[in-house]
A and B are shown apart, each in its own frame.
Chain A
Amino acid sequence: MQTMTNSLKLMLLVAVAATTATTAQAQNIDAAFDAYDAKDFETAASGFYAVRRLSDDAGEVAEAQRGLARSYEKLGLHLAALSVWSGVAESGNTHPHFSVAIEGLVNAGEALDDDLTMPKIIDKVYSGPNVETINKLNPEVLQRVYFHLGRYVFNRQNFKEARKMFKAVKEGNPAYAHAQYMQGLLRLGVGQPDRPPAKYDLATQHFEAARAAIPVDTKDPALVELRDLTSLALARLYYEQAFTLDEGPGRKELLDKAKAEFQQVPRFSDMWADALFERAWANTLDEQYGRALGALHSLSAPYFKDEFFPEAKILQAIIYWYNCQWDRVNGILDETRSTYEPMAEQMQGLAESNLDFGEWYPLLQKSLEPGADPGDKTLIPRAVALAITKDPGFQKMEKFLKEIEREQKVISKSKVFAKSDMGQGLSEEFDALAQGYLGVMGKFLKTKVRTLAEELASISTRAGLIALETKTAEADWLEQGRAIENLQRTRLPRPFIPDDTFQFWWFRNEYWIDELGYYEFTVKTECFE
């Protein structure tokens, strides 16, 4: 009897405790909602976090997840929001906020410029019964989902599926211009191992549609970048077509178009250096050697000191070779080999070293330090390290890593977060994320260093080939009694000035910022029939 009484008491106590706990959780979530409504998002986030962790009520947890993600969004903690939305999305369409989570994921991913994590999660959840739910999303959101999915499968070389996804993005959607650009790349066969024949006309249409969809006065950096990318893509497309043609009006017309597109890339934009370098190739093919050398000359200005175009030396040598200026060819080739051969060896050594992936990013940072010893073979050559930091893929990764650090700082500085267990939890979560991401970056950097080492080795090889051709030509000249050394050259006439809307200045070993991109050499052929 006594035992029974005790049991009843225990049950009663448990029931009371349970009721009290439920009431406390309900009060907590109410308090969190109140804080959210009062725009005290830190307190709200802290409250939602506690409910999500402690509540046994699935409905309440779902509400807390949504409230937490929304609070993070309001606080500008997109990475934290991405993490919460990912959890909801991965629960599947049975979660009451699944659709909201998909939209939240896309928003957070776009805010972070993340084309790695967010598309991967969406691809993961875009299966089974979830597909039907996702397809019922607001068309604007759904098309953005398609775009991200398309880019994800494009990177995984599922080009057919990618095209289907990009085609589903309609005009007027924020992702339309991006999707058109990607379709253009697909039409050209970019990244496709089987190298299907390029469909130039269709690609041109897609690129032009992409450019037309970007407002002229846009300030959106992503759209501005896309516009420049589109101009570069069109220029490359015209150049590639011209390259396959024999000399004639058709080729000339395409080269003119290519050059015009290269000039569409604004001066001082991120892609200007690429446009200048590639324009030099187009000018070379068009036999406008003075302009080609002028474009390369711009790249040697202090303004471009952080740019890395080792191939520029090869192009210079080729231009002088075409003009039979053997002494200049030899000078450039000697410089090229003495500069890049040791660099290639050093990088090859690094690529073959046993560095952990996690050690590569610190190595890059160390290589970029102002006091770094240029002769230290354990570092990445400074010019290469700078070139890597300009790689768009690397820039995205670094931006993501810095966002992790930023959000960690925001959380550690918040007094509200410090009082709750959320701060500790998030901090640990971010530590793990940063560590994992360093590994991803390390893998990328190692591959990049290896690729660049191979490119530099290839440049040395090409320099050797040109040197061989030059020696043959020199021997031929000597046989014919022509001089190949100690040549005297005078200053030559200025290049053609189109009309009185143009002006010209001498270049006197002094780079002026307003003149970059406008240099022209006067090159006189020294060949003889």
Chain B
Amino acid sequence: MKTSPLHTTALARVVRLVCAVAVPLALALPAQAQDDDADEGAGTPETADGDTNVDKADGGSADAGGDARDPSAPKPVLEETIFVVQGKPFLVQGKFELTPQIAQSINDSFTSHTGIILSGLYHLKENVAVEATLGGFGWLDERSGLPRVGGRDTDLTVELRQKENLAPERVKLYQFSYLAAANLQWSPMYGKVNVSDFVLGQFNLYLSVGAGISGLQLETLTPGVAQQNFVPLATPIAPLASFGGGLRFYFTDWLGVRVEVRDYVMPLAVFQNGDSAVEDADAPSFDVTNLILTQLGVSFVF
């Protein structure tokens, strides 16, 4: 019946992907592009099934000399060249998107960050957006049973402190309580996905770059004891640059999911002297810290 779902052969999951930069280029030079396609056909005569065939010298007519053919010659190609030419779905251009996300750091051996990030986007174009991000980190202190703001020491750090009385460079123990950033997003690739005819949606892969600030915390240097108090910092804020990329999938024109990996890069230091000196610093240390977060959220477009 007409309402019955469409079958899509035996494939359970199929994806169609287009590189967004390819289309404008192709449109800029349509004639050339078509010639190129024709050349491609001539050079690699691949059928829709992927068979390789000997090319016909002139696509406009069959060759008169073709009567005496080798019996072992490839079979005639009866498959057609078929395309789908459809209007692009403009789902988000000129719209806002709000995405609450959960975030987890994935690269840090000494501190770990878990938090919630709220991201607001305005899509200037279908594949270009500006984004404002605000996030906070926290964790549950099992000893006190109370929630605490910021990052926490990893098990490795705790073990080093408690069993070995060791600690990494002090600068590597900075924790982040919040972050705020502004980003520019660009989606160079988009596509659509069909899962067993049950889900048919649009997706795009995007890259993101931006800048912002992050709140800093640094624990006091108390050998053998972890997760204690923080030292007062002269400047408890660090500038950051963010780089990231992700995948955004829209189920409908208002709802989607988004997964991304983002690197927040911050130049950090622990000074022994000067205005920014940390009061219990045992040695100066410097680092360019990469806080890499995986973020997963639900997008609401409006």
Contact residues of A with B, CB < 8 Å? 268, 270, 293-294, 297, 301-304, 306, 327-328, 331, 480-497, 499-516, 518-528
Residues in B with CB closer than 8 Å to A306 are: 1-2
Within 8 Å by CB of A486, from B5, B24, B76, lies: B76
Q: Contacts of A483 on B, CB cut-off 8 Å?
A: 62-64, 66-67
Number of A-B contacts (CB under 8 A): 187
In the complex, what distance in Å separates the CA atom of A489 from the CA atom of B57?
10
The CA of A173 and the CA of B199, in the complex, are separated in Å by 43
Query: In the complex, how many angstroms separate the beta carbon of A312 from the nearest chain B beta carbon?
Result: 15
- Determine the distance from Cα of A509 to Cα of B38 in the docked complex, in whole angstroms: 21
The CA of A4 and the CA of B38, in the complex, are separated in Å by 119
Q: A493-B35, A504-B85, A512-B84 are in contact. List 15 more A-B contacts (CB 8 A).
A: A294-B82, A301-B6, A303-B4, A306-B2, A327-B76, A327-B78, A486-B69, A487-B56, A487-B62, A491-B40, A508-B48, A511-B6, A513-B6, A514-B86, A526-B61
Q: Which of B169-183 contact A (CB under 8 A)?
A: none
Contact A501 B85 (CB under 8 A): no
The answer to whether residues A491 and B48 also contact, given A483-B66, A514-B86 and a CB cut-off of 8 A, is yes
Q: Does B222 contact A (CB under 8 A)?
A: no
Q: In the complex, what's the smallest C-beta–C-beta distance from B253 to chain A, in angstroms? A: 13
Cα separation A487 to B80 with both chains bound (whole Å): 13
B24 x A500 contact (CB < 8 A):
yes
**Known contacts A511-B8, A519-B82: A524-B46 contact under CB 8 Å:** no
**Are A512 and B80 CB-contacts (below 8 A) given A492-B59, A494-B37, A503-B88?**
no
Q: Closest residue of chain A to B73, judged by CB?
A: A486
Q: How many residues of B contact A (CB 8 A)?
A: 63
Given the complex, which residues of B lie within 8 Å of A505, measured CB to CB?
Answer: 16, 18, 83-84, 86
B290 at the interface (CB under 8 A from A): no
**Contact residue among A482, A497, A507, A523 (Cβ-Cβ distance under 8 Å from B62):** A482
28 contacts between A and B (CB under 8 A): A268-B2, A270-B2, A297-B82, A486-B66, A487-B56, A488-B55, A488-B77, A489-B56, A490-B41, A491-B41, A492-B81, A493-B37, A493-B41, A494-B34, A497-B30, A500-B23, A502-B86, A505-B83, A507-B82, A512-B192, A512-B200, A514-B192, A515-B84, A516-B6, A518-B84, A519-B84, A525-B60, A528-B61
* Chain B residues within an 8 Å CB radius of A508: 48
Contact A492 B88 (CB under 8 A): no
CB pair A494–B83 under 8 Å, yes or no, is: yes
By DSSP majority rule, is chain A's interface helix, strand, loop, or mixed? loop
Judge whether B85 and A490 touch: CB under 8 Å.
Answer: no
Contact A497 B41 (CB under 8 A): no
- Say if the beta carbon of B53 comes within 8 Å of chain A: yes
Which of A483, A491, A500, A506 has its CB near the most chain B CB atoms (within 10 A)? A491
B45: interface (CB < 8 Å): yes
Distance between Cα atoms of A463 and B14 in the complex (Å): 38
In the bound complex, CA of A93 to CA of B82 (Å):
67
With A501-B87, A515-B86, A521-B81 as contacts: A485 and B63 at CB distance below 8 Å: no
Whose C-beta in chain A lies nearest to the C-beta of B37? A493
A residues within 8 A CB of B37? 492-494
CB-CB contacts below 8 Å: B1-45 with A: 1-2, 4-9, 11, 14, 16, 18, 23-24, 26-27, 30, 33-35, 37-38, 40-42, 45
Please give, as numbers and ranges, the residues of chain A lying within 8 Å of B16 by CB-CB distance. 505, 512
Tell me whether B30 and A496 are in contact (CB under 8 A).
yes
Q: How far is the CA of A377 from the CA of B275 in the complex (A)?
A: 100
Does residue B109 face the partner (Cβ distance < 8 Å to A)? no
